[in-house]
Each structure stands twice: as C-alpha cells, then as structure tokens.
Structure 1
Amino acid sequence: MKKIFLSIVTLTFLSLSSCVSDNEDFNDDGKKSYDVPAESLLSNAQKELSDQLTTPSVNNNPLRYYVQYWAATLYPAESRYNLTTRLIPDTHWTKLYQDVLGNLKTSEEVLKAQTKPDATSASDWQKQQQNKVAILEVLRVYTYQILVDTFGDVPYSESLQNPTIVLPKYDNGEEIYTKLIARIDAAIAQLDATGASFDTGDLIYKGDVAKWKLFANTVKLKLAINIADLNPALAKTTAESAYNSGLLLTNANNALLTYASFAPNYNPIFDNLVASQRNDNVPANTLVNRMNAMSDPRRPIFFTPMEDGTYVGGIPGGRNSLPYESTYSHVGDVIKNPSAPGVLIEAFETNFYLAEAAARNFVVGNTVEHYYTQAITLSCNYWGVSPEETAAYLANPQVAYATAATTPLTGFPGTGTGTWQEKIGYQEWIALYNRSFQAWTAYRRLDFPILISNASSVPASDKKVPVRYTYPTVEQTVNGANWSAASDAIGGNLLTTKIFWDVK
C-alpha cells in the first residue's frame, strides 16, 4: 500500500498542474519505504486531528480570539477575523481532509488487505478487524462534523475519491448530518467489547473498545444536540438512544491524546507560546473579568496572576498596550505544559449536552440542574480544583443553577431572565477554555455568552463574531463550479452566513 494522503483540493491541483512522465515508476522513490501499517496511519490521523483542534497558531486556528479566550497584542489581524492573509480556511480544510480523513481512509484500505494470522481464530480475527474499522469510522464521523460545523455545505459523498472524482460536489450540511447519525449508529453496532482492536497505534484509548463505544455514543449525542433547534424530533430520538447506550460521563474516560515532553511531539500550545518564545497572546478581559466577578477557582490554572494576585485581561481585537509582558495576566503554566493532552471529548462536555437535552424535555435520566452541576464539578476536578473550592463556587448564587443569570453580574451583558441557554452557555464557555473549536460551536448554538466584537474587526464580519469560515481560496480557483453552487446554496460564502443548525 503506497503512502498517498493528498487532500481533495491538493489532488485536484496536482492533476491539473503537475509534471507528467511516461515512466510508470516516475513518482516512486526506490530508497524510501512506502508500506505503512494501519496502526501508524491511525496514529497520524489522531495526532493531526488533535493538533488542529489544540493549536493556537494564527496560521491554523484563531478561534481562541473569536470566543474571546485570548487577546492579541503585537499582531491583531487574526483577532479581528482576517481569515485570508494566512489562508486559515485552506489550512483547516487540508488538515482535516488530507491529514485526518485521508489517513483514516488509507488505514482502512490497509486493514482490508490484511490476511488472518494462522495463530488467530477466524472469529477472533473477525471481531478484531470489525472493531478496528468501526473505530476508524467513528473518527471519520467526528471529523466530518467539524467540517460541516466550520463551513456549512462541504464535499462528502464525492470526497476522497481521486482519481475517480477530482472535482467533488458539495453536499447539503443538513443531509450530511442525517447520514452521519446513520453512520455512527452502524459503527456503534459494530463495536464489540468482547473482541480486541488495535494493539498499537491508538493514541487515545489504546485499543479499548468499551471506551470507544462510550466515545461513539457521545459523538452521537453531540450530533443530536447541534440539530435540536432545527429538528427537535430527530434530536430527541438520537439523544435518548445515545444516552441509553452509554456515554462518556467520567474524567477517567476522557478522549485525550497525551503529547510528549520533547520536540517534535509536544503540545502545540507549548510549541507556539514557549518553544517559539511568543508571549504576546494574553487572556481576554471578557473571560477574565467574568471569572473574577464569580471568584472562579480555575483562574490560577487558566491564567498567571499579577504581582498583587489579581487577574487582568486584554481587549479582544484590540492592540493592547505595551509593555504587554507586565500589563496583563498570561496563559497559565498548566495550559502551556509540553505534555498537556489534546482533547476530543470530555466528561464535563457530555454533561452539558445532557443538561441541554433535559432542558428540552428529552428523557436522559436526570434534570438539567443535575447535569449542569455535574458538568461544572467535572471541569473543576479535571483542573485539580479542590472539592471545597468547587463546592463554594457552586454555592455562589451567580453559579448555582436555580439563581444563575437571573440578575446579570454588574457590568456584564446578559438578559436577566435566567434562561437555560444563558445559564448553560456561560458556564460551558468557561469550562471549554482550552477547547476553542467546541466553544465556538456552543456559542453559535446557545447564543451565549454575549460577545461584543471589536470596532476594528474586518468589514466582512459586519462587526460581529464570525459564525463560519469562508471556503478555502484554492477551492474557488480549482473547483470553481462546485464552490459557486455551494456558496449560493448556503446563502453566500460569508463570515456571517449561519451553519444550517444555527437557526436562533
């Protein structure tokens, strides 16, 4: 099996512009091994996925600015939603299609070409291979959801089919979601905890099929919650089915990819802030001030204190004053640890989804208040907050579910009505501090927290926080007809065009 993982865009571009030779061995390097084990391909896919979701690089992922976790100092362009200077959508697209989905597809092809070892029984071999393929499928569903949640309509049914299809059409985002729910159901049915899976190569669960099943059901719940405003009937049946099948509900089952403490496999945050000697990103005052107002015990972990023990954030989208080294708090040392894990799903996140489900009267075993409280508790536990500090925080009237958001904190925007969307929205936003993509999705779904865009934001944003990425520039150049049709179908290739599920 040759190691070929080129994105649909890259493949198209190469097919149109690469040099050509009549020699059939023209592209073979006789000195390089091209045989890659399925396990290595899985590892590569998992790491690329984690890297893209974790990195704070302005070339790859500026979403910490969008949800106002961080503020820039020296270079504010990306914090003002300039996506095009560094071709950020192109990078995100290529990373997910080529480096994640491409590796997963090739891994499955390698698996299907394998023959059973003599020492393994036919039934054990069948279970093992079935589990391996199902794990790859669960990760594919997870990745396609990210693509839809980023861009809207995207290549799906014709994606990753070069050379058969080099200019893939874009599928309707809502239809993709429906198909993803069917695909995750099929994958869950194939996961058999009585059988083995990957002995090596699985950087997340080390081949633990039971944990992958919890993860898969939680991906299913995540799909359901996103469409709850648009299609409550489908969301209800999907969420209840996921709940009844078993979810990722404890920190022991979090989907984590632990990085190494050394180059080149350390955490991308360490890479961008410490190894690169960049100290010019600071926590945003939107988050810092709100956490200050509630005496949130996670502040010493998320941020560094000033000399007087307080926490100070910069203005989102602003060119924050110098000297920035001593004027503001900075990103906390735990967050910058080189071996800190990347995260795909956490238990607190699942509990917030269940809180939303309960608020919508889905049958998920408990009340919205129970899951809300459990989510905050799990987040505090994960970051090492003591049980006493956690209990005190939950007793704060601005945090306790019964009273939270009924009267907005002084100086903070809020409705004062104490809706479940507002209560969950603010606390989920805080808990997702190190998970910027998922925080952006929650913000768009719940419409909380209330985020005020900087007046210097690019005109294309209409002075609002963007609700999608524009399509990659290369798609317009190479796949123009399909790009144009998709842009028209979603209502315009704009930062302000909402993803199909964002209906409120």
Structure 2
Amino acid sequence: MKKYILYAFIVMTCLLTSCDLNINDDPNYPQNTQVTADLIFPSIEASIASAVGGEIYNYAGFFAQYYDQKPESNQYNTLCEYTFTESSQEMDYSYRTLFAGALEDVQQVLDKTTNPADIFAATVLRAYTFQVIVDNTSDSPYTEAMQGNSNAMPKWDNGEDVYKGVLNELEAAESQLEESSIMSNPDLLLNKSVTQWIGFANALRLRMYLRFIDANVDVANYTDKVKALVQTGNFFTGDVKLDCFIDETSKRNPWYTTNAVGLPGNHCAAYPLISYLSSTNDPRIAYGISKTAAGKYVGQMPGGKRNMQELLGTDNWKNKDVSAIDYSIGVTKPVYFFTQAELQFLIAEVYERFLGDDVKAKSAYEAAVSADFKARGLDGQETAIIGTNGSCRWASATTSAAKLNLIYMQKWVALFYMDHMEAWSEIRRTDCPNLSSKTAAEIQTNSLVYNPGDLIEPWTNGLEAGGLMKRMTYPLTARQHNTNTPGGVSGSTPVWWDVK
C-alpha cells in the first residue's frame, strides 16, 4: 500500500504545482501500456481532492459566507464582491484537473480492467466528478467528452441530462457486482470496501435525487426513490475522505498549501457565520476561527472591505479587529468527498419532509450534529446545542417548516471547514440560510435589524441582478480550446436544479 500512497503524493505534487493540463490531451500521467489500473486509480482520488479541496473549496467558502477577505490583504477581493470574470480564471485549474486528471484517469481504469468492483468504484468517482462540475457551471461536456483527438471539441450537455446519465451509469455498474466482488485497485478513500462504495453511491443518489425534486423534475418518481433509499439505509459509515496528507512540502492539504504557505493569509471570518454561532452558543465557533486581540469573535461584512475603508480610512481599516481564519488546523486536514454529518442531515430531511416520521427525523438530525462534532474532535460538546436546554434542540422547532430550517441551518454550520462546495450547493437548493432583506450598510449601522445567520448581499456586488452567486463562470480554458463552449452567463443565473 505504501507505494500507492507515494504514487498519490507524486500526483498531488504535480497538481498542487499547477501542471499544465489540457482537457483535449491524453492523460498527463504515465501513458504506456505497462501502466496498470492499480497505479492509476489513486490518482483519480488525488485529482478530485486537489480540485474540490483546493480552488473550489476556496471560492465556495466565500459564496457560502463562511469567510471574507482580510482587511490587510487583497488576493480575493473579486470573489467577495462577485466582480470576477472568465478572464479571472477562478475555476480553470479545477476544470483542467477534473477533466484531464480525474476523468481521463477514470477512463483509463475502465479501459484497463474487467474487475466489476474496480469498474463500479471508478464509475462512482466519475459520477461524483460530473456532479461537482454541473453544480458549478450547470452544464458540461458529457456525451462527447473523453474521446481524445477523435473529438477535440465535445458539445456541452444540459446539466439535467448529465445527472441522469451518470445515475444510469451507476445503476449499470452496480448491476454487474456480485457478492464475491472484491476491489483489486488500491483505494485511499474507502479502503477497498465494496460495501462502503455502494454506500457512497447511495449517498450520491440521495443528494442528486433531492435536487431533481426541488427542480420539479419527475417529482413523484424521485420522491419514491429517496424514500426507498432512506428506509433501506444502505449508506457508508464514517466519512468519505482523502486522509493521507502529512506535514511536508507538497504533501499538505491543498487549500492550506495555497493559502497558508503560498500566500500570506487572506481569510477572516464572515459576519453571518459568526453571528449565528454566537447566537446559538455553539462551541464550534472556536474551530478554525481565531479570537481578535480583544478576545472576541468578530465577523466581517460580506463584500464590505472597500466600503469600510471609505468609512474608516485605509489605515484604520487595516487594523480593524476581525477574527482571522485559523489555518493551522488545516495542515493535514482530510479532503471530504461526503461527510457523515451531511448524509444524516439529508436523511433527517427525507424523514421530516416525505415520510412524516418525527422520531426518525430527530434521531438523524441529532446523529448529524454529533457526527460533525466528532469529526472536529469535539465529542460530547454537542449537548450545548442539541441537549435538553440546547439552543438548537429538536423540540425548539414546533412546525415542519421550522424543523427543516433547523436541519438546513445546522447543515450549513457542519459543512464549514469541511465541504464548502456542498455548502454552497445546499444553500442554493434549500434557500437556507435566508438572504437578509437588509443591506450590508443597514446591518453595519444597526445590527438589531439583522437575523443572526442570514446571508447578506455583498456590500459591493458585481452582479447586475444583485443577490448571491448562483453559478461559476465557464472556464476560460474551455473557451480557448473548445468552440462549443456556451456563451457567457451571468453569475446570477441559477444552475439547472436551482429553480426557486
């Protein structure tokens, strides 16, 4: 196993140093016929982790309003203010990595093996990767993708069709499994457990089915599907995560490597997250967030840096007492593909929303919160919020709508410093946290008009339609290399499943 971990680290080193990947080239890793599937499979996991746990993790954290741009730094001003364009290339590295890295290597594995278990695991990773891409840009090359030089300019498929396509692929690959199926490829995610891979696939189905439902697509069918999944309960245990980082050069967590090693530190806590954690007396406020010099937790107004500089003056603003994001816990932090907390929150939603089972909804909700506290090394402290007198106890919500709001808000908290991409996606699906009706300027002037935890439209907002970021721009890389890339779409235009 050590040689495979080393191989994955070599791949990660290449990715973290921005290897030049071209989505129309053959895989950029060893390509001769002697390279077997068992050497390629770990690179799929490493490529996905590099994107989802690096660049995507970074900008999605801004969109989820977990953090904002530090007063004394400038690296991510355009992300906070939604003023970036295709030319900013915010997603280009991830797009190249997911297509020329992960998906190319998936195809290599599928071409090189006949083992049903290995094919199934590779197909699950393919489905996960396309889901992430679609959730960013709404559509994606799919039916004509991965054809190499025979089709260098694949068409872009509608996101709904991509979702349906990869779900069909999952069904077909799983139907070939037998009770005796055993993975032969090394596996850094789920330790070659076919049972766990089936559980991961079912969790992906659950996540995607709920998006079909909320997009009003074949609602009755997908409602039956989520009910059946949850009642059967065949899901993964623990977390699905790449947990092999070590505190050595090029082997650390990708987001940490970029922001704590490559840059001077740009993140401070955002106002919505701090306000909600403070209002609920949540012990997790100390996880990944530093107190100010005055010993307090203070969040920065989203997209408010330039405005506050005008109000306070540049020098005073640079010394503004806001809570920094604590990078130190991220050195060897795993990259999460699917947390147990998110899974349990989805299960709680289904029991509450579709099955009308309050007892099981409560159980799943509490299991979700407990799983998140455990993942952060805070076992037992969850009683502060879900115990008998806890601010977020199940009994504090007296209607179904209030219970769903509780589930969604706690999911938002639980995905902080864990899985920012899914946090941003779930905000768009559920419209929770709510978008405050008050402007950033109004809240800055009088905090009493603000409901703790509500998202805030950036003070400086580059979206013509206003509001929050609904999608990423198409990658400039794609436009430069593929004439079939669709015309530019505003960041205020929702992805296909975000119809509310």
TM-score by length of 2: 0.80
C-alpha contact 1:53 1:437 (8 A) present in aligned 2? yes
Distance 1:193 1:71, change over 3 A: farther
Give matches, 1:273-352, under 5 Å: 273-276=259-262, 278-319=264-305, 327-332=321-326, 335-336=329-330, 338-352=331-345
Give matches, 1:172-251, under 5 Å: 172-192=158-178, 194-198=180-184, 200=186, 202-229=187-214, 230-231=216-217, 232-244=219-231, 246-248=233-235, 250-251=237-238
C-alpha contact 2:23 2:96 (8 A) present in aligned 1? no
Instruction: Kindly state the Cα deviation for residue 238 of structure 1 after the two structures are TM-superposed.
Output: 2.5
Aligned match of 1:502: 498
Instruction: Kindly state the Cα deviation for residue 274 of structure 1 after the two structures are TM-superposed.
Output: 2.6
Give matches, 1:54-73, under 5 Å: 54-55=53-54, 57=55, 61-73=58-70
For residues 244 and 179 of structure 2, the distance between their equivalents in structure 1, rounded to whole angstroms, comes to: 23
C-alpha contact 2:256 2:327 (8 A) present in aligned 1? no
For residues 193 and 333 of structure 1, the distance between their equivalents in structure 2, rounded to whole angstroms, comes to: 44
For residues 317 and 46 of structure 2, the distance between their equivalents in structure 1, rounded to whole angstroms, comes to: 36
Equivalent AA in structure 2 for residue 132 of structure 1: D
Equivalent AA in structure 2 for residue 329 of structure 1: S
Distance 1:250 1:323, change over 3 A: farther
Distance 1:199 1:476, change over 3 A: closer
Give matches, 1:86-485, under 5 Å: 86-112=88-114, 129-192=115-178, 194-198=180-184, 200=186, 202-229=187-214, 230-231=216-217, 232-244=219-231, 246-248=233-235, 250-251=237-238, 253-276=239-262, 278-319=264-305, 327-332=321-326, 335-336=329-330, 338-362=331-355, 367-387=360-380, 389-395=381-387, 396=389, 398-404=391-397, 418-434=401-417, 435-450=419-434, 451-460=455-464, 462-480=465-483, 482-484=484-486
C-alpha contact 2:240 2:339 (8 A) present in aligned 1? yes
Distance 1:225 1:164, change over 3 A: same
For residues 51 and 465 of structure 1, the distance between their equivalents in structure 2, rounded to whole angstroms, comes to: 26
For residues 276 and 226 of structure 2, the distance between their equivalents in structure 1, rounded to whole angstroms, comes to: 31
Aligned match of 1:123: none
**Percent identity between the two aligned chains:** 23
**Does 2:70 correspond to 1:39?**
no
Q: Which moved more, 1:436-445 or 1:298-307?
A: 298-307
**Structure 1 unaligned blocks of 5 or more:** 16-27, 113-128, 407-416
For residues 249 and 359 of structure 1, the distance between their equivalents in structure 2, rounded to whole angstroms, comes to: 21
For residues 186 and 32 of structure 1, the distance between their equivalents in structure 2, rounded to whole angstroms, comes to: 27
**Does 2:79 correspond to 1:78?**
yes
**Structure 2 unaligned blocks of 5 or more:** 1-10, 310-315, 435-454
Q: Which moved more, 1:314-323 or 1:174-183?
A: 314-323
For residues 258 and 44 of structure 1, the distance between their equivalents in structure 2, rounded to whole angstroms, comes to: 13
Distance 1:265 1:245, change over 3 A: farther
Equivalent AA in structure 2 for residue 53 of structure 1: V
Q: Looking at secondary structure, tell me which structure has more helix per residue.
A: 2
Equivalent AA in structure 2 for residue 467 of structure 1: K
C-alpha contact 1:193 1:210 (8 A) present in aligned 2? no
C-alpha contact 2:198 2:236 (8 A) present in aligned 1? no
Instruction: Kindly state the Cα deviation for residue 163 of structure 1 after the two structures are TM-superposed.
Output: 2.0
Partner SS, residue 343 of structure 1: strand
Aligned match of 2:22: 10
Partner SS, residue 157 of structure 2: coil
Partner SS, residue 263 of structure 1: coil
**Does 2:496 correspond to 1:493?**
no
Distance 1:331 1:436, change over 3 A: same
Equivalent AA in structure 2 for residue 475 of structure 1: A
TM-score by length of 1: 0.80
For residues 135 and 11 of structure 1, the distance between their equivalents in structure 2, rounded to whole angstroms, comes to: 23
